[in-house]
């Protein structure tokens, strides 16, 4: 009798355990269906809002070969993979293209680097001579960038090389050639946008700013040469086209979605060993899903739903002013604190902050306005022997793009400073004797000591 009871109890316990597991599976299935439906809803909303969600739609007819700078850039990228810029070369270029005037020894080192990279420089000039750019990225394929990394990541190196060459030309008194070189950096900025995505948009803004800072360096060197100042004034664009950050975000979302869906397939097709820890990501915790496709798909769908929700919210304000976008971005950031939850590992590491892109967008126009105004002031002094008391004496007062108010200007001894209030709105131009901890687009004449190398004996008056 006891044996019968034990057997009966075992059978009953088995049914209970089986029922429990079945209940868990049914719950998992319900959650998976809901997560998948939520994901499909987000995809539908994203499409309505202009998200392509398919990188193959990025493929467009290539420009004529003779007008396509991308063909040359791709050769340059291959060359930089086999002969990358060394740490020492980068350091030299960084100094030569910074905000301060390089010292004579810096100039000497820059000449050496440029001489060693003359073939690369020649190719860059060939690329900037072409008006259109197609990097021939194989959108829609598993590995769209083929044999090289995302193109816009390398464009700043090319801009630095050209800016360094322009600096040397200016040091040699060849101002027309220097200005022509530096203006060609704007073309590199335009070409960088062809890569699509947020990083290409960031590169465009960054390289445009580099082109203008380079023109400011040439203006410092040639301040006492009216012809050089006039040439700079003629070659500064009145306005640079601003790339749409919203469009860049929609493109970036499509690119990231492609990569995440590829990751989904790695588990589904039994390749969990590809989920390893790399320099940037640690995918090893995802291996726990390798034997349960239902859980894995549910996990991915939940991640992609949150991913699309946040990207849609951010893209909606990406082209607004920083003042208007800031509160909505902060609210979005609070709502998506779950990005730090282990259950959202997939999207945690591809998250990025677009706030800096929105905040820095006025910088290019502010650099244009301050450089133009500085050139006009230098020409004014050349004709009249002194700087004006107010900018309005030269005509209508230029506008600071950060606050839509008149640009700030004051005379300082025999010189002047013209400046923007910057992104915070409180920059006061600093001092000609003490370097400010903060920076905003500005131009100070004569060049202050802290913007000259210690060994530099040049003086401006």
Report if residue 370 sits inside a domain.
no
Residues 334 and 256 in one domain: yes
Instruction: Please classify residue 446 by burial: count the beta carbons closer than 10 Å to its beta carbon, then call 0-12 exposed, 13-18 middle and 19+ buried.
Output: buried
Residue 405: φ, ψ to 5°: -115, 170
pLDDT digits (tens, 9 = 90+) for 232-276: 999 998 888 888 999 999 999 998 898 888 878 877 666 555 555
Domain tally, the chain: 2
Report if residue 437 sits inside a domain.
yes
Share of the chain above pLDDT 90, in %: 52
Report if residue 198 sits inside a domain.
no
pLDDT (0 to 100) of residue 344: 76
Report if residue 144 sits inside a domain.
no
pLDDT band at 278; cut points 50, 70, 90? low
Residues 337 and 419 in one domain: no
Residue 66, CA distances (Å) to 62, 123, 188 in order = 11, 14, 17
Range of the domain at 400: 380-461
Residue partners of 128: CB distance under 8 A and separation at least 6:
69, 162, 184, 185, 187, 188, 191
pLDDT band at 17; cut points 50, 70, 90? low
Of 353, 370, 400, the last residue of a domain is 353
Q: Are strands 415-419 and 442-445 parallel, antiparallel or unpaired?
A: antiparallel
pLDDT (0 to 100) of residue 457: 42
Rounded-to-integer distance, Cα 205 and Cα 146, Å: 26
pLDDT digits (tens, 9 = 90+) for 335-378: 776 556 667 777 776 666 688 888 788 899 999 999 999 999 99
Residues 343 and 386 in one domain: no
Residues 386 and 441 in one domain: yes
pLDDT digits (tens, 9 = 90+) for 51-90: 998 888 888 888 999 999 999 998 999 889 899 999 999 9
Residues 419 and 328 in one domain: no
pLDDT (0 to 100) of residue 458: 46
pLDDT digits (tens, 9 = 90+) for 194-227: 888 888 888 999 999 999 999 999 999 999 999 9
pLDDT band at 392; cut points 50, 70, 90? very high
Residues 256 and 349 in one domain: yes
Residue-wise burial string across 25-50, b where 16 or more C-beta atoms lie within 10 A, e elsewhere: eeeeeebbeebbebbeebbeebeeee
Residues 254 and 342 in one domain: yes
In sequence order, the β-bridge partners of residue 415 are 412
State the pTM of this model: 0.86
Report if residue 8 sits inside a domain.
yes
Report if residue 430 sits inside a domain.
yes
Residues 328-339, mean pLDDT to the nearest whole number: 74
pLDDT (0 to 100) of residue 456: 46
Report if residue 174 sits inside a domain.
no
Report if residue 311 sits inside a domain.
yes
Residues 264 and 331 in one domain: yes
Residues 349 and 405 in one domain: no
């Amino acid at each position: 009798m006891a044996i019968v009871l034990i057997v009966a109890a075992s059978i009953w316990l088995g049914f209970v355990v089986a029922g429990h597991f079945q209940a868990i599976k049914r719950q998992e299935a319900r959650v998976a269906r809901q997560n998948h439906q939520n994901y499909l809803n987000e995809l539908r909303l994203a499409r309505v809002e202009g998200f392509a969600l398919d990188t193959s739609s990025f493929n467009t007819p290539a420009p004529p070969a003779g007008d396509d700078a991308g063909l040359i850039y791709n050769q340059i990228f291959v060359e930089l993979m086999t002969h990358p810029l060394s740490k020492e070369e980068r350091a030299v270029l960084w100094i030569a293209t910074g905000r301060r005037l390089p010292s004579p020894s810096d100039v000497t080192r820059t000449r050496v680097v440029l001489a060693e990279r003359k073939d690369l420089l020649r190719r860059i000039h060939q690329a900037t001579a072409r008006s259109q750019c197609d990097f021939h990225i194989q959108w829609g394929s598993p590995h769209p960038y083929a044999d090289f990394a995302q193109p816009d990541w390398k464009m700043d190196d090319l801009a630095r090389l050209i800016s360094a060459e322009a600096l040397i030309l200016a040091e040699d008194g060849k101002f027309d050639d220097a200005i022509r070189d530096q203006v060609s950096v704007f073309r590199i900025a335009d070409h960088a946008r062809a890569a699509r995505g947020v990083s290409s948009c960031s590169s465009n803004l960054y390289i445009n700013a580099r082109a203008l800072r380079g023109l400011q360096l040439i203006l410092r060197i040639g301040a006492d040469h009216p012809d050089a100042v006039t040439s700079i004034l003629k070659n500064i664009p009145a306005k640079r086209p601003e790339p749409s950050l919203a469009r860049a975000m929609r493109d970036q979302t499509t690119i990231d979605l492609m990569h995440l869906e590829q990751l989904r397939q790695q588990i589904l097709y039994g390749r969990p060993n590809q989920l390893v820890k790399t320099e940037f990501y640690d995918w090893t915790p995802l291996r726990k899903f390798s034997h349960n496709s239902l859980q894995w798909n549910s996990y991915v769908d939940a991640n992609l739903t949150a991913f699309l929700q946040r990207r849609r919210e951010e893209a909606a304000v990406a082209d607004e002013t920083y003042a208007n976008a800031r509160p909505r971005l902060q609210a979005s950031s609070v709502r998506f604190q779950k990005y730090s939850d282990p259950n959202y590992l997939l999207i945690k590491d591809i998250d990025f902050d677009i706030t800096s892109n929105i905040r820095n967008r006025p910088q290019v126009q502010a650099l244009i306005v301050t450089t133009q105004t500085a050139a006009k002031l230098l020409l004014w002094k050349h004709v009249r022997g002194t700087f004006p008391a107010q900018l309005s004496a030269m005509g209508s007062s230029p506008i600071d793009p950060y606050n839509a108010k008149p640009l700030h200007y004051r005379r300082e001894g025999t010189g002047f400073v013209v400046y923007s209030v910057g992104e915070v709105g409180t920059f006061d131009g600093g001092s000609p004797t003490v370097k400010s901890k903060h920076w905003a687009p500005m131009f100070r004449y004569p060049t202050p000591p802290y913007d000259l190398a210690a060994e530099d004996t040049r003086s401006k008056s």
